[in-house]
Structure 1
């Protein structure tokens, strides 16, 4: 495990700010990008009437840097619970911004999460990949200022609402489970379904998609019950501050060739479009820079018991995270 700590904790409560409604959103999905004059620093100015103003003015924006010194152990946080169907049908799509799996909204097969920091049940709608132009960066969230090669985000909507588009403008409307990707000799079997060369050859251009009949969500998740959670926002416009984030404390693995020979070859423009968009035509570095945590609290259920030190009976052990050549390893400190 690469995240372990002991800190006395307390609960956090945050008020969620809402974003723009869906009716005025879909037609502008190609307006924003990850660099240049349409990049994250400009998102708030790309729409009139301040419809994306939360991207700049929000106080609870995501992603954030997960600093060990800010982690608070909360003994009331249970492990996440899941129900519904393990295997879902849907489609794998190149959106021009991301490669993602979108569940079939007309299917009765659903995958839900509840428990932990969630007061309601949430239904999975999208599995989204973020990655960089090198393996030294790619994740949206950082750990002590260091990035992972990629980040897989499972996006859920609150079952109080009819669908994702309705829920994303509501307080606690969305929940996202985030998984870091780490380089390895083999690729997670379910991640391989999204990143195999045979699949990516069909998805080179924006707005292309292929069906996928069996995505086993449980097999995509790493074997851990530990996570970090905080109140945040969507990391794409309209940056609505309605998201409960849960970052799992184990990565899943992906072969380096999946990036160099596949994901980094995806295009951000349609095949029939003669001019590449401002991302210079290639999908990479599709991550938003991190924001300050502000007054928010990073809660965690990760606990490590240590034998009491006779010389310092109240000492506690904290694990500080270091990244060496893209591999996470803990080093112990005392306070």
Structure 2
């Protein structure tokens, strides 16, 4: 009787074992298919991550190399380490594309090298650039709207800085690398008065260049922080050139809006006036600038569509757009 029961149970055990075996095989197959699918997706993710990481790592490596070169030069000139300040040497490459209605597309690249020598410098530092950054700063709308590329001017600037109370004083002679060599000078006084909710930024500069002679630059700008998102900047600046007896004035207002930690908008309106043949309105411009940081301290860009009205064109509307991308090391 017992043998009959065993004979009856054996087929059932065999069926269960077969079902279990088939289920196990099916599970293994499904797991392998899922694993293969993940392996096909992972290379794309790894590839994109690798490209991004490679870009960041390359930037860091170049920055460290440049810092080490500047530090080596610093120690060579001084002979010993006298400070533990972090070396803040930097290189900035800017590619600017300017497009205006009725004009050809213009693309230009400018490079600024700022080697810092903390052991050698106390109140001064050395700069190399493919343009005159001091003259660029005197060009008011360029901070908010650049319609023309920077004028090429290869040279080195030695900046001497000293604070006289609340006034920041700087003397910056610059050697322009051309045949023959030319030297220009800049002596400026600048201060920032911080009040509750706003700031006042006066500046006075005396400058001299071989081509424009001597001149003066004056600025009285106001900054109002309306909220965590909104701000207003009032710009009032003038520049006088002795050789041409040209006095140019820029006035404007800029509304700033913070969108995220890495992006912002500014809504700008600027006017330009000069004294030739007599004091008059020369131009006015409306523009909206969108700025975004792609990688902090590495890569950022700005795009600015604008509408320009020039007196020489009978204040006819001219549409334009500028795109600037900056790479920092």
Question: TM-score band (shorter)?
Answer: under 0.3
TM-score normalised to structure 1 length: 0.22
Higher RCO (C-alpha under 8 Å, 6+ residues apart): 1
TM-score normalised to structure 2 length: 0.22
Q: Counting strand residues as a fraction of each chain, which structure ranks higher? A: 2
Structure label with greater radius of gyration: 2
